[in-house]
Amino acid sequence: MTEQIDAGMVARRIAESDRLGSPDPGREIGRARRRKEDARLITGRTLWTDDIQLPGMLYVAFLRSPMAHARITRVDTSAARNQPGVAAVYTGRDFAAEQGSLPCAWPVTEDIVIPDHPPMAVEEVRYVGEAVACVVATDRYKAADALEAIEVDYEPLEPVLDMTEALAEGSPKVHEAGNRSFTWKFSGGDVEAAFRDAPVVIERTYVQQRLIPTAMEPRAVVATTDGTAFTLYSSTQIPHVLRVMLALTTGIPEHLLRVVAPDVGGGFGSKLQVTAEEVLCLLLTRRLGKPVKWTESRSEGNLTVHHGRDQLQRITLAAERDGRIRGMRADLLADMGAYLMLVTPGIPILGAFMYNGIYKMDAYDFTCTGVFTTKMPTDAYRGAGRPEATFAIERAVDELAHELGMDPVEVRRRNWITHQEFPYTTIAGLTYDSGNYEAATDRALALFGYDKLRAEQADRRDRRDPVQLGIGVSTYTEMCGLAPSRVLGSLSYGAGGWEHATVRLLPTGKVEVVTGTSPHGQGHETAWSQIAADAMGVPFEDVAVLHGDTTVAPKGMDTYGSRSLVIGGVAVLQACEKVKDRARKLAAHMLEASPDDIEFSGGTFSVRGTSAGKTIQELALAAFAAHDLPEGFEPRLDADVTFDPQNFSFPHGTHLCAVEVDTETGMTKIRSYVAVDDVGNVVNPLIVEGQVHGGIAQGIGQALFEEAVYDSEGNLLTTTMTDYLIPSAADLPEFVTDRTETPATSNALGVKGVGEAGTIAATPAVVNAVVDALRPYGVRDVRMPCSPERIWRAISESGGAAAGWAGPTEAEGGER
C-alpha cells in the first residue's frame, strides 16, 4: 500500500503547484482557474430547457411502441381527445405529409442503405420506444393521463436482435432492403504477406456492449413561433448543425429558425443528434400556433436517447516471437439499431483509423458491416468509435504478451512509435504530429509502483489467495479535433469541421468572445476567457463568452469529438490576433508612428524605444468615438475567424489499473488507478483534470457496470437506474493523475483536446487488469461489463472453481 500513498502525494503536489497559478506569472494560459460558470451552475441560477415557461404553453407526451417490431393496424385517439385539458392528439399518419425523414448526414459508402425514418411511426414500428402518437395538453400530467386512453392495434412481426443472425439467410428483415446497411473497407500494406508464416497469430472476438448515455440533464425541447419565425430551445450539443438539419427536414426556412441551447447538462454524444422530438415539437408549434414543451423522463430517455457502442469485433494480430507486430486485421459488425440517425454509420468508421493504436506495423486491414436490428439506433457516445478500437488493440496486445510470456509493457515498448520518429504516418494513413509514449509510460509506471505490484501479484498467486491482484495497462492515442473539412469530405461526411469565433472589443475595453462551440459542461467560458485574456492583454474578468444561440452566435460546428479547444479555441486566438492587428494600426495612427514600430505587451501598444503608448482600453474608446481614425479605417475593433484545421490532434497517454478480484464472489474492486495523459499544452489544468476524472469514470462504467439489455422479444430491460448501473464516486478509487506535455505542432496553441481521453483509455486498462487477475485460472477474456457473476462463471468454467465452493450447476449455465 505504501507506493499508493506515495503516488497520491506526488499527484497532490503536482495538483497543488498547478493551483498556485500559472508557471508563468501574469499568463492566464496554464492557470488552474476555477470555472467561472460553476458558481451559477451549482447554486441553481441556471436555465435548463425544462425551466423555460412561455405564455400559453402546451405540453407534449409521446405514446411509444411496446413492440420491437410490428405493423400498426389501427390507432384510435378519440377517447384521448376527449380527456380534460387535451388540446390535440396526433398519430404518425397525421404528420405523414410533413414530418419528413430524420436525417443521416454520414452515408459512408455509395451503396449504403438509408431507410426512411419518420419521426413518428406511420405503418411499422421497429424498436420498443418508437413514437407512434402524441398528446398535447395544458399540463404534463393531463398529457400523460391521455396517453393511456389511446388505443393501438399492432400486428406483431419478428424482432431482429442479433447481428450475426440478422445477416444470415432467411432472417426476418428490419427493412425491406434487408439487414445490411453497408460494408466499409480499408486496407494498408500487404496483409496477406504479414500473416503468411507469421510465428504468432492472436485471434480474439470482443463484444462492445450496448451502452446508454446517461447525461445528468434529460433531454427537453421547447418550440415556439410568432406565426412567421420559429425558435427551438433544446438540450442539445449542436444548435448550429440542428438549425441546418431542421430547416432541411421541416422546410422551415433557415433564416426564420433560431435554435437555442440554453444551459445543457451533459451530452457525451447523446445530444449530438437531430431527434424525432425536436422535429415534432417544431411541427406541433407550427400546427397549433402555441408554444410546446417536451421533457423526457429517465426511463423514456433510457429507451429513446440514442445508444452507444454495440459492436462485435474480430481482431487478428500477426507477430514475431520477439513481440514485434507484423500486421493486424479488424473485422467488425456494428449494430446500427433500427434506423440510421445523424452520424450512426460513421461511428465505427471513426475507429477504423485507430485499431493500430500507437504501434508500428507493416499491414492493416479493416472491414465493418453496419447491421440493422429492431433496437434503438446507436450513434455517438463519448469517444465514438475510438474507444472500441483502443479496447480491441490494447486487449489484443495484452494477449500477445501473455502468449509470448512477456511483460505487457515490454511488448508495447517494442512496437510503439518512438518520440524521435514523429511526425509519423501510420499504416492507417494518419500522420501523428507529436507524442512521447516513453515519457508518459515511464511516469505512469513510477507513480503506480508497477514492480512492487507485480511482486505482490506473484505472492498472491503463490499463496492461492482468494483475492487475486490484476494489473492492466492501456497505452492509447486518439484522433481528436474533428476535423479537417477535406478529410471529412473524403469520408463522405455531410459537413465540414471548421469552427468560428468572433472577438469584439467593446467601447469600455471589455472583450466579448462569440464561439461556435456549444459547451454543455466543458468549461469553455473559462478556457476561452483565459485564451482571450492573454491574447488581448486584458484581465480574465474582462472577457465574456457567448455561445449556444444561433442568433447570438450564428456560425458554428458545435461541440463533440474533443474538437472545441483544438479548433474553436484556436479560432478565438486567431480572432484576437486579427483584432490586435486593427488595434495596432489605430495605435500607430494615434501615436504618429509606423505600425511596424508598434510593440504590444501587457495590453499596451507602444512605440518601440519610447514610453509613448496606448492601452487597449484607450483604443477601444477611440474606435467607438471614431473621431480620428486612419484613412479608410472602419470604426470597429472586432474580427471573425473561421478556422479549418489541417490535421487531427493526437492526445495520448498511459493508464495503469490495479484490481483486486474476489474469486469467491467474482467481485472486482479497483485498488489503484494511475493516468498520465499527454494532451499537449494545457490551458487550464483544473479543467483537464476534471475531464480526465469524468472520462475514467465513464470508461470504468463500460468495463464493470453498464449494459443496455434487451430480452428475447426486444424489450429493453434496463429502463431505470436500478437496472442500468452507472458508477458513482463511492464506487471509484482515488485517481492519480499526471501529465506529460508534448505540444501539438498542428495548431498555434499546441493543444490536443481532452474530452474523450479518459473514457478511451480506461476501459481496456480495467478489463486487462481483470483478465490479468484471472490468468492463473486459465481465463483469457471476460465479457463487458465484467460483472461479478460473469467473473465467477469465467473462473468456474475454466475449471478453477474458487477453492472449496462449488461452481454453477449444469442446469443454470448460460451467458449473463
Partner 1 sequence: MIPAAFDYVRPASLEEACHVLATTGEEAKVLAGGQSLLPLLRLRLAYPSVLVDLGRLPELHGVQDRGDHVFIGALTTHDEVMRSPVIREHVPLVALATATVADPAVRHRGTFGGSLAHADPAGDLPAVALALGCVFVTRMTGGQREIPASDFFVDYLESALDPGEVLVGVQVPKLGAGWGFHYEKFHRTAQAWAIVGVAAAVRTEGGAISEARVGLTNMGSTPVRASAVEAALRGAPSPAPDGNGASNGGHDPVRDACGEAADDTSPPADLHATSDYRRHLARVLTYRAVRAAST
What is the contact surface with partner 1 in residues (CB under 8 A)?
140-141, 144-145, 148, 297-300, 463-466, 664-665, 667, 705, 709, 717-718, 722-723, 725-728, 730-731, 787-789, 792-793, 803-809, 811-812, 814, 816
Shortest distance (Å) from residue 477 CB to partner 1: 31
CB neighbour list of residue 162: distance below 8 Å, 6 or more residues apart:
373
Alpha helices, H only, 38-196: 38-42, 78-81, 140-147, 163-167, 191-195
User: Please, which residue, 402 or 790, has the CB nearer to partner 1?
Assistant: 790
Shortest distance (Å) from residue 295 CB to partner 1: 10
Shortest distance (Å) from residue 83 CB to partner 1: 11
User: Please, which residue, 36 or 140, has the CB nearer to partner 1?
Assistant: 140
108: left (phi over 0), alpha (psi -120 to 50) or beta: alpha
Shortest distance (Å) from residue 299 CB to partner 1: 6
Give φ, ψ of 412 to 5 degrees.
Answer: -65, -45
Shortest distance (Å) from residue 800 CB to partner 1: 13
In whole angstroms, give the CA distance from residue 31 to residue 521: 19
Shortest distance (Å) from residue 780 CB to partner 1: 21
Q: Which amino acid is at 146?
A: A
In whole angstroms, give the CA distance from residue 290 to residue 306: 28
Shortest distance (Å) from residue 797 CB to partner 1: 13
CB neighbour list of residue 504: distance below 8 Å, 6 or more residues apart:
511, 512, 513, 514, 579, 637, 638
User: Please, which residue, 115 or 466, has the CB nearer to partner 1?
Assistant: 466
Exposed, middle or buried, 20 (CB in 10 Å: 0-12/13-18/19+)? Answer: exposed
Shortest distance (Å) from residue 808 CB to partner 1: 5
Dump the DSSP string for 88-120.
EEEEGGGGTTT----------STT-------SS
Shortest distance (Å) from residue 145 CB to partner 1: 6
Q: DSSP letter at 552?
A: T
User: Please, which residue, 324 or 461, has the CB nearer to partner 1?
Assistant: 461
User: Please, which residue, 115 or 808, has the CB nearer to partner 1?
Assistant: 808
User: Please, which residue, 135 or 757, has the CB nearer to partner 1?
Assistant: 135
User: Please, which residue, 181 or 668, has the CB nearer to partner 1?
Assistant: 668
Shortest distance (Å) from residue 713 CB to partner 1: 15
C-alpha dist (Å) from residue 57 to 50, 139, 591, 802: 12, 9, 58, 61
Smallest CA-to-CA distance from 404 within 331, 468, 321 is with 321
Smallest CA-to-CA distance from 366 within 404, 392, 400 is with 392
User: Please, which residue, 44 or 609, has the CB nearer to partner 1?
Assistant: 44
Q: What angle (nearest 5°) sits at the alpha carbon of residue 69, between those of residues 67 and 73?
A: 80
User: Please, which residue, 47 or 717, has the CB nearer to partner 1?
Assistant: 717
Cell matching residue 140: 404534463
User: Please, which residue, 151 or 664, has the CB nearer to partner 1?
Assistant: 664
CB 147 within 8 A of CB 127: no
How many angstroms from the chain centroid is the CA of residue 736? 23
